[in-house]
């Protein structure tokens, strides 16, 4: 079995931690200390303290294997793809298309041309929102959830402005879960599109997307699922979900920034017009008429992020080698431990208390601004996110300016959570 096909048979200089041996026993091998050695950044200090990185929901860290794929590309076969007749171009094209196949396999898409390489989740959402302008008419309805990131709200508001469609919102409850009975009431034959995140970035709630998709399809609406927060935790199967569009960013799952994927069912991608014009996306061009290339190239104008795409493939390999079951089980353990330990602190309130949630703890200290706590935690080497997490409607619901969000990844440890807890206690003492 070729475990790192992205690297091929190429020998990698400066790749000391390729875990070639023992990978077949990967399930039994989950050892966080070994895994941490794959991440050079985890060895560094911040403000004189060992880095405790709990901002994984904003961006994940990058393992050596992915860094090596990036270095390998620029060191050995950097060339433009799909056009060149020379060997380097062929090689780069092969690797890039190999990455697309890995992504297809990972998300279990029926065909590789249903995988559109994008610059990230936001790009994927905008591509679909732009395409739907032509498909919607005045009075049509589109449904969004109250748990969305701004990037899954604003493009649809812009779509509504262009098309005259009406935006409806599935409300949330105190636990940070969507109120499904309200969703049922919003659905009608007027509903054309539903967009919802798989997992909330601000609270970590796992949304019941299976049921959301089924119900939307029952009234003939298409569904786009924003998988940006899900992709590091859950291996989504787009065919089993029967979802119409699924979008992710590579940098949320150990890959580089500036690259992502849009999965779209072939029938939908064929219906949508191209998003951007340029090279790569055409079949024939004359000043009278241009015909467009087939899928996926129709949506991939210009030179793509070739290196990023290849490194995305390496990131998918890396995470699958660790195994999503292992990742899930371990992160759940971290979540439970962090929740228990943080709640020992008097006056600490956790937002997002659904039983179905990923390893995100969003919290506040009574009467203390989240910004103050975040600033002091940074001085102690602990990286958390503070603020509204680009999800202002959620903060408005709870009537708070923001939260402190600690989000955990499979390379974090309980010892690090202890550092966070002590840090929060110290911050509380200084700020009270």
Q: Is 379 an interacting residue with respect to another protein (CB under 8 A)?
A: yes
Which of 157, 293, 387, 397 lies at the binding interface for another protein (CB under 8 A)? 387
Which of 386, 403, 412, 413 lies at the binding interface for another protein (CB under 8 A)? 386
Q: How many residues form the binding site for another protein (CB under 8 A)?
A: 14
Cβ distance to another protein smaller for residue 190 or 369: 369
Supply 211's token pair.
Answer: 């049921």
Q: How far is the CB of 323 from another protein (least distance, A)?
A: 35
Cβ distance to another protein smaller for residue 44 or 356: 44
Q: Calculate the alpha carbon distances from 289 to 134, 283, 284, 306 in Å.
A: 20, 11, 8, 29
The torsion region of residue 139 among left (phi > 0), alpha (psi -120 to 50) and beta comes to left
Separation of alpha carbons 264 and 260, rounded Å: 13
Looking from the CA of 243 toward its CB, the CA atoms found within 13 Å total 28
Separation of alpha carbons 373 and 423, rounded Å: 9
Looking from the CA of 230 toward its CB, the CA atoms found within 13 Å total 23
Tell me the three state secondary structure of residue 10.
Answer: coil
Cβ distance to another protein smaller for residue 208 or 401: 401
In this structure, what DSSP letter does residue 429 have? H
Q: Is 47 an interacting residue with respect to another protein (CB under 8 A)?
A: yes
Which of 26, 180, 401, 425 lies at the binding interface for another protein (CB under 8 A)? 401
In this structure, what DSSP letter does residue 75 have? I
Q: How far is the CB of 115 from another protein (least distance, A)?
A: 33
Q: How far is the CB of 207 from another protein (least distance, A)?
A: 27
Tell me the three state secondary structure of residue 408.
Answer: coil
Q: Is 431 an interacting residue with respect to another protein (CB under 8 A)?
A: yes
Q: Is 150 an interacting residue with respect to another protein (CB under 8 A)?
A: no
Q: Is 368 an interacting residue with respect to another protein (CB under 8 A)?
A: yes
Q: How far is the CB of 345 from another protein (least distance, A)?
A: 18
Which of 372, 392, 397, 425 lies at the binding interface for another protein (CB under 8 A)? 372
Stretch that binds another protein, among 120-128, 198-206, 279-287, 364-372 (CB under 8 A): 364-372
Q: Is 44 an interacting residue with respect to another protein (CB under 8 A)?
A: no
Helix (H) or strand (E) holding 125: helix 121-132
Q: How far is the CB of 386 from another protein (least distance, A)?
A: 7
Q: Is 375 an interacting residue with respect to another protein (CB under 8 A)?
A: yes
Which of 371, 414, 415, 422 lies at the binding interface for another protein (CB under 8 A)? 371
Q: How far is the CB of 424 from another protein (least distance, A)?
A: 15
405 bridge partner residues:
362, 385
Q: How far is the CB of 6 from another protein (least distance, A)?
A: 32
Per DSSP bridges, beta strands 403-407 and 360-365 are antiparallel
CA-based torsion, 239, 66, 23, 331: positive or negative? negative
Supply 356's token pair.
Answer: 């179905």
Q: Is 376 an interacting residue with respect to another protein (CB under 8 A)?
A: yes
Q: Which residues are catalytic?
A: 390
Cβ distance to another protein smaller for residue 293 or 390: 390
How many Å is the Cα radius of gyration of the chain? 22
Which of 10, 37, 369, 425 lies at the binding interface for another protein (CB under 8 A)? 369
On whether the CB atoms of residues 91 and 83 are closer than 8 A, the answer is: no
Separation of alpha carbons 348 and 424, rounded Å: 10
Binding-site ranges for another protein (CB under 8 A): 47, 368-369, 371-372, 375-376, 379, 386-387, 401-402, 430-431
């Amino acid at each position: 079995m070729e475990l790192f096909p992205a690297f091929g048979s190429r020998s990698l200089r400066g790749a000391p931690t390729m875990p070639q041996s023992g990978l077949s026993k990967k399930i039994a091998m989950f050892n966080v200390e070994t895994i941490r050695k794959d991440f050079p950044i985890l060895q560094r200090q911040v403000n004189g303290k060992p880095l405790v990185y709990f901002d994984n929901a904003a961006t994940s860290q990058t393992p050596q294997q992915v860094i090596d794929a990036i270095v390998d590309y620029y060191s050995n076969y950097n060339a433009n793809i799909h056009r060149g007749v020379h060997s380097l171009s062929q090689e780069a094209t092969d690797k890039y298309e190999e990455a697309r196949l890995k992504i297809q396999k990972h998300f279990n898409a029926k065909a590789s041309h249903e995988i559109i390489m994008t610059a990230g989740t936001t790009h994927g959402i905008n591509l679909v929102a732009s395409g739907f302008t032509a498909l919607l008419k005045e009075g049509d309805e589109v449904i969004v959830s109250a748990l969305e990131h701004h990037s899954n709200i604003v493009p649809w508001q812009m779509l509504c402005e262009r098309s005259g469609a009406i935006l409806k919102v599935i409300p949330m409850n105190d636990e940070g879960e969507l109120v499904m009975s309200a969703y049922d009431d919003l659905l009608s034959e007027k509903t054309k599109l539903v967009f919802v995140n798989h997992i909330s970035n601000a609270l970590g709630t796992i949304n019941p997307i299976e049921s959301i998709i089924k119900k939307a399809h029952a009234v003939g609406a298409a569904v786009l699922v924003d998988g940006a927060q899900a992709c590091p935790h859950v291996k989504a199967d787009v065919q089993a979900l029967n979802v119409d569009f699924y979008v992710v960013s590579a940098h949320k799952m150990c890959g580089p920034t500036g690259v992502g994927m849009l999965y779209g069912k072939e029938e939908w991608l064929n219906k949508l017009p191209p998003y951007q014009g340029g090279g790569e996306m055409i079949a024939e061009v004359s000043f009278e008429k241009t015909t467009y290339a087939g899928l996926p190239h129709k949506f991939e104008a210009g030179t793509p992020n070739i290196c990023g795409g290849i490194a995305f493939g390496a990131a998918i390999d890396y995470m699958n080698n660790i195994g999503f079951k292992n990742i899930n089980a371990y992160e759940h353990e971290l979540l439970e431990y962090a929740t228990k330990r943080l709640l020992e602190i008097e006056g600490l309130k956790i937002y997002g208390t659904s039983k179905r949630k990923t390893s995100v703890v969003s919290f506040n200290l009574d009467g203390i601004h989240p910004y103050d706590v975040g600033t002091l935690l940074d001085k102690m080497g602990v990286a958390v996110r503070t603020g509204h997490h680009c999800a202002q409607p959620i903060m408005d619901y709870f009537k708070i300016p923001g939260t402190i969000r600690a989000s955990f990844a499979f390379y974090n440890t309980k010892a690090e959570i202890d550092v966070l807890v002590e840090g929060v206690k110290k911050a509380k003492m200084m700020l009270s």
